[in-house]
Structure 1
Amino acid sequence: MSSADGVGPVLHTTPFARSVVSTIRDENDGVVVHDEGAYLRVLAPRVCRLSRTGLEATTGSSVRFPGELEVVMSSFTGVMHLTEDGAVWRLAGEPS
């Protein structure tokens, strides 16, 4: 994957953020995670999806979207769409 085609969140390194990364890896192909110590840069090719139900299955507890993701997400690459059911990051111009 070219870094120019990668999209996804940049997360403060916390246990919850590691659950987010695990769920993104489960729900997307070709995910690359750069562990920079204080933060995790997650990149998926062209589109990166994160479902609330998948994250709840990973954490074993209920998760509130919007709300809990934004607390650990310092930045992101791409265009983000967030609903109560999940988050999607995509390249600008990528069809939904």
Structure 2
Amino acid sequence: MTEPHVKMVGPVVRGVNADLADALITAIEADNPGAEVVVEDRGGYIRISVPQRCRVTRASLEEALGHSFQLSQLEPALSAFSGRLKLTDDEAIWYLERQD
């Protein structure tokens, strides 16, 4: 019997800002404990994926960057994302609306 396909969600970041991409990976790993974080570096972009739900907080991203950062500044760095995105001042969450 084969395992059902796990649906992944998360941001696709333009590869031009390596510091932001690295900080985003670090923050996502911190904000999703126990979840598998898959990073695919395609040169021009970096896809960061987590099964079902991916969360990143402003606090963890600021800690990883070493300076203050408004999550609204993240949007121009995204070339795409998978799932739906809920963005507030304090966190970004990529999620699946449906489970199938």
Q: TM bucket by the smaller chain?
A: 0.7 to 0.9
**Aligned equivalents of 2:4, 2:39: Cα separation in 1:** 14
Could you say which residue in structure 2 is the equivalent of 1:54?
A: 60
Corresponding residue to 1:89 among 77, 80, 94:
94
SS of residue in 2 equivalent to 1:92: coil
Could you say which residue in structure 1 is the equivalent of 2:23?
A: 19
SS of residue in 2 equivalent to 1:84: coil
The answer for unaligned runs of 5 or more in structure 1 is none
Residue 8 of structure 1: how far off its partner (Å): 0.2
The alpha-carbon distance between structure 1 residues 83 and 4, as it changes in their structure 2 partners (threshold 3 A), is same
**Aligned equivalents of 1:2, 1:32: Cα separation in 2:** 18
The alpha-carbon distance between structure 1 residues 90 and 2, as it changes in their structure 2 partners (threshold 3 A), is farther
The answer for unaligned runs of 5 or more in structure 2 is none
Residue 35 of structure 1: how far off its partner (Å): 0.6
From the CA coordinates, give the structure whose radius of gyration is larger: 2
Report the residue type matching 2:60 in the other structure.
G
Q: Which runs of 4+ in 1 moved over 6 A?
A: none
* TM-score, scaled relative to structure 1: 0.88
The alpha-carbon distance between structure 1 residues 11 and 2, as it changes in their structure 2 partners (threshold 3 A), is farther
**Aligned equivalents of 1:2, 1:72: Cα separation in 2:** 32
